[in-house]
Amino acid sequence: MLGLNFAQEMMDRHEIIAVDRGKLVSAPFTVLKQDLLDPRAEDTILDSAQPDWLINCAALADLDACENNPELAKLLNTDLPRRLARACKTRNIPFVHISTDAVFDGEKDGFYTEEDKPNPLGIYARTKLEGEWAVLTENSKALVARVNFYGWSLGGRRSLAEFFFHNLSNNKSMSGFTDVVFCPMLVNDTSRILARMVKRGLSGLYHLVGTQAMSKYQFGVEIARKFSLRESEITPKSISFSGLLARRANNLWLSTHKLSTALAEDLPDFSTGLNEFYTQNQQGYPQKIRSYAQV
């Protein structure tokens, strides 16, 4: 989801070379077909593309899938980033790795900074944290961004915003967790800020999330209100009764002070991103994204 939206944002300003296993068949940018789990895939990609930057958006990001397949989670979330970081260092290519806010256990009162010690609760969070360590150990000049984003995706099911929008649009009731707090950012904002971070030559660990913390229930309500849908269809619920396999942290409120200071600018507020998300839908952006997978 991030890779596709990043390409969409940047393709008018930069030459984009995407790496995909075969889903993208009509994208308006260059696509290299490559399975990242293939041995030495990183060498094949970098020697072919010879990029000025490499941004690694690949991951096994389904938390329950990680619990069911920890070996695959390790391969994609830890081992692959290590290989990419090492290959980029060898070729002197700036490397950006995308991590997650989920590395924290959510037990802290208030927000987390980059200095706080992570304590992952599940396989996904643990393998992503180990991926951070692997990247920064292999390549001290690498940039690692912990993110939490929403937006429109290739299949229409990759983000919480799409979940609320599609269910509400079809008059389907759903639940929203009142005791899970996070900092959502529109994926297009995430993409634009990532590009600025690379251009500034930033390295090390940064929190790249929204500036406003809210519960997932409140997020759903904000989606409903923006699209003039029925917020009454969203039932407040505790995550304790979710039945989800992987444990989720209750508090993922992350401070963005380090990043805003490094960029010397304020990060976009939530309402700005939500307005753009709404406008994208009005202008057919979701259909445009999905068309890239159609012949």
Quick one: what percent of the chain has pLDDT higher than 90? 87
Indicate whether 295 pLDDT > 70: no
Catalytic residue among 124, 206, 285, 292: 124
Pairing mode, strands 174-177 and 234-237? parallel
Is the Cα torsion angle 158, 159, 161, 163 positive or negative in sign?
Answer: positive
**CA separation for the pair 167, 170 (Å, rounded):** 5
pLDDT tens per residue across span 89-127: 999 999 999 999 999 999 999 999 999 999 999 999 999
Residue 36 amino acid letter = L
Which domains does the chain carry?
2-154+184-212+253-270 (3.40.50.720)
Is residue 269 very low, low, confident or very high in pLDDT (cuts 50, 70, 90)?
Answer: very high
Indicate whether 244 pLDDT > 80: no
pLDDT at 294: 63
Collapsed DSSP state (helix, strand, coil) of residue 39: coil
Known catalytic membership, residue 112: no
Write the CA distances from 265 to 36, 63, 75, integer angstroms. 35, 33, 36
What are 186's strand-pairing partners? 150
Q: What is the pTM of this model?
A: 0.93
